[in-house]
Chains A and B, each alone.
Chain A
Amino acid sequence: MSILIHRDTRLVVQGITGREGEFHARQMVEYGTRIVAGTSPGKGGEWVLDGKVPVFDTVAQAVEATGANCSVIFVPARNAADAMLEAADAGLPLIVCITEGIPVRDMMQVRRVLDQRGSRLVGPNCPGLLSPGQAKVGIIPGHIAIPGDVGVVSRSGTLTYEVLYALKLHQRGVSTCVGIGGDPVNGTSFIDVLEMFEDDPHTEQVVLIGEIGGTDEERAARFIADHMTKPVVGFVAGRSAPPGKRMGHAGAIVEGGSGLASDKIRALQEARVRVAEHPEQIPELLDGAR
């Protein structure tokens, strides 16, 4: 099985007539995802993807007509906050936002409203979700992963693909891959996903992919130490990166942690996470942890 998305997910694509939206909607359909609707303001009534998918002006109309229960957003950054709020307002329980470059002020407000509405957001600035063999919501190339029992959660985009591909080359399959996105304010956290994997009977092992900056990996490490029974293998990108640029005194006072890869790796190791030196080492470590 999988977490968050599966065979029966009924997807609406926000921004389906745009270049990216149309291209990736087609890829999702080819993968077997049930896209039941698209939205594009002013184009309601049209049909896209070879006449198979109806387009609506609003998300509310799309949900009412098709029973969609998940949305994926491909609209430009300046419209993305509005798109997320619209999806939440239409009652969608799961919203996946692929768009990158959204102002952080918008995200803080959107997150606050979504929490009140009870909608789960994945992203923004993320590659989305893939439950191999069942459905993909987002832009992760479908052919680089096979079904299996490894849960993958990552802050990165393309680095996630790298890891999925390495798993596939070693015949290791994936239950669900969740790209949570690298923005400072996002919807779903490492801990949210770790919790879901811990509870998912079809996930046996977990891969966590982090990167420098912030303290999310340290917090995930604490959660793993306290709550996870399933083995976790980690990778943290940015060991070779020069120390980041500083953000005034306030940034240093607020952030606390150093944001360095070495500190994150140490925190994960102390939580008994096996940390890979490079992405292609991850399958070996998974085999060793079984």
Chain B
Amino acid sequence: MKLHEYQSKHLFAQDGIPIPRGRVATTAAEAKAIAEELGGRAVVKAQVLVGGRGKAGGIRLVGSAEAAEEAATQVLAIHIKGLPVRKLLIDEAVGIQSEIYLGITNDRQARSPVVIASAEGGVEIEEVARREPGKIVRLTIDPLLGLREYQARYLAAAIELPREHWRDFIAIASALYRVYHRVDATLAEINPLVVTKDQRLLALDGKMVIDDNALFRHPDIAEMRDLDEEAPAEREARKYGLSYVRLDGSIGCMVNGAGLAMATMDVIELCGGAPANFLDVGGGAGAEKVAAALQLILREPAVRAVLLNIFGGITRCDEVARGVLAAMDEVKPTVPFVVRLVGTNEEEGRRLLAQAQLTTASTLMEAARAVVAAAQRSAAA
């Protein structure tokens, strides 16, 4: 789960990382009032969960409360990578001397968190990583020990930070790891971490991603989820524990397991069709979940045919079949279905579905060919 900049910085501040003074506004009038409190000079920042806000005109430096109001009006009217701007962060403007990058994420290969720093922070950091990898310093953090002070000192030295800032930098790096660990983050990034003209270190921008699997132990963080930023279908999917991504094709897919779901989409393309979605009903999918999944697929008007590919293991084919029947009863679909059930309790599943008017297939290739043909017929009709 991604957090907004203002949410990330709020968590940073809880662990003692200095952030600019500022507050969230949802209207231009609020933006004006906050800018006034901050003394007029302020930065108006769109809060959307995508990168590239600056380039899209979502970040404006203003010199007065009136200018903040005007900038807020404009930014609230734009879309950034398709997302409407609903919230603004109004921060005090600070004089910047230099910009540092500081981030923590997980390194799959090292099976450990890794802390990354660079003297050249800012939006071009990935370009720096490609062009001059020597300017990026990375250190592996032992998951049992956490970030040690000497490691933070090593980073400060390696990015050639002037010695007078080491104490503050070490405190910030240690705090960033604390918050990363505390909330089960998979990314915590300060970019840029600035040295201000009056020689303070300040986290000007912040980004955090939280491990969805860990939200059960962070109810307060789970509540931070911005439902406005999610497509309705994806919100619905999450409610039922389904993994769903909408795509542009015409063949709805319901599959158990992400790998098999992707392989099913691949085979549909190989047979000349185009999948309308990725949908993994997950392991142990019961009837209710299957019914919810089918309704989700059929809500999409572009869907011309549906392929159900279930290979039972922890999922039982008879329960899937019951879900399919329940959903068909409720939704009364008009598009053709192709069903393939193999694995745990497959005979019972097939017996249950025999009464419904469905095309069945025994191999994946056969199922894909059948559903592509069915979609073509149904589009022509």
List the interface of chain A (C-beta within 8 A of B). Answer: 20, 24, 27, 77-78, 98, 100-109, 111-113, 127, 139-141, 144, 154-162, 165-166, 169, 182, 184-185, 209, 211-212, 214-216, 235, 237-242, 246-255, 277-280
Contacts and interface: CB of A to CB of B under 8 A. Distances in A.
Contact of B103 (A144, A166, A238, A248): A248
Interface in B311-363: 311-315, 342-344, 363
A126 to B, nearest CB: 11
A100 B283 contact: yes
B189 A280 contact: no
B157 interface: no
B235 to A, nearest CB: 16
A155 to B, nearest CB: 7
A253 B112 contact: no
Given A139-B314, A165-B342, A78 B143 contact: no
Nearest to B284: A20
Contacts of A184: 106, 108
Q: 5 shortest A-B CB distances, which residue pairs?
A: A156-B259, A158-B257, A159-B259, A103-B214, A108-B143
B51 A246 contact: yes
Contact of B143 (A77, A112, A253): A112
B7 to A, nearest CB: 14
Given A108-B113, A242-B245, A248 B105 contact: yes
Contact of A278 (B106, B142, B207, B263): B263
A249 B191 contact: yes
Contacts of B152: none
Interface in B201-233: 207, 209, 211, 213-214, 216-217
The dominant DSSP class at the B interface is: mixed
B379 interface: no
B209 A248 contact: yes
Given A247-B187, A279-B263, A185 B311 contact: no
A241 B274 CA distance: 11
Interface string B250-276: 000001111110110111111000010
Given A162-B263, A242-B245, A251 B187 contact: yes
Given A112-B143, A159-B259, A280-B365, A102 B213 contact: yes
A156 B258 contact: yes
A102 B144 CA distance: 17
Given A141-B343, A214-B108, A158 B186 contact: no
A240 B266 contact: yes
Counting chain B CB atoms within 10 Å of each CB, the highest count among A100, A235, A249, A280 belongs to A249
B56 interface: no
A279 B261 CA distance: 12
B144 A112 contact: yes
Interface string B6-18: 0000000000000
B111 A24 contact: no
B111 A249 contact: no
A215 B266 contact: no
B125 interface: yes
Counting chain A CB atoms within 10 Å of each CB, the highest count among B108, B209, B211, B284 belongs to B108
Given A103-B213, A105-B181, A279-B364, A254 B105 contact: yes
Contacts of A141: 312-313, 343-344
Contacts of A237: 259-260, 262-263, 266
A139 B343 CA distance: 11
Counting chain B CB atoms within 10 Å of each CB, the highest count among A139, A212, A214 belongs to A139
Given A102-B213, A103-B213, A239 B266 contact: yes
Counting chain B residues whose Cβ lies within 8 A of the other chain, the interface size class is 35 or more
A101 to B, nearest CB: 5
Contacts of B256: 158
B101 interface: yes
B65 interface: no
B270 A277 contact: yes
A246 B116 CA distance: 17
B129 interface: yes
Contacts of B105: 247-248, 250-251, 254
A159 B103 CA distance: 35
B257 A240 contact: no
Contacts of B142: 112
Contacts of A100: 282-283
Counting chain B CB atoms within 10 Å of each CB, the highest count among A101, A235, A246 belongs to A101
Given A249-B189, A249-B191, A253-B129, A241 B259 contact: no
A241 B262 contact: yes
Interface string B117-152: 000000001100100000010100011100000000
A108 B112 contact: yes
Contact of B126 (A107, A211, A252): A252
Interface string B80-91: 000000000000
A279 B313 CA distance: 18
8 contacts: A24-B314, A104-B214, A141-B312, A158-B259, A185-B108, A209-B259, A242-B245, A254-B105
Nearest to A210: B259
A203 to B, nearest CB: 22
Contact of A211 (B259, B275, B284, B343): B259
B187 A248 contact: yes
Contacts of B187: 247-248, 250-251
Nearest to B105: A250
Interface in B93-111: 101, 103-109, 111
A25 to B, nearest CB: 13
A166 B109 CA distance: 32
Nearest to B51: A246
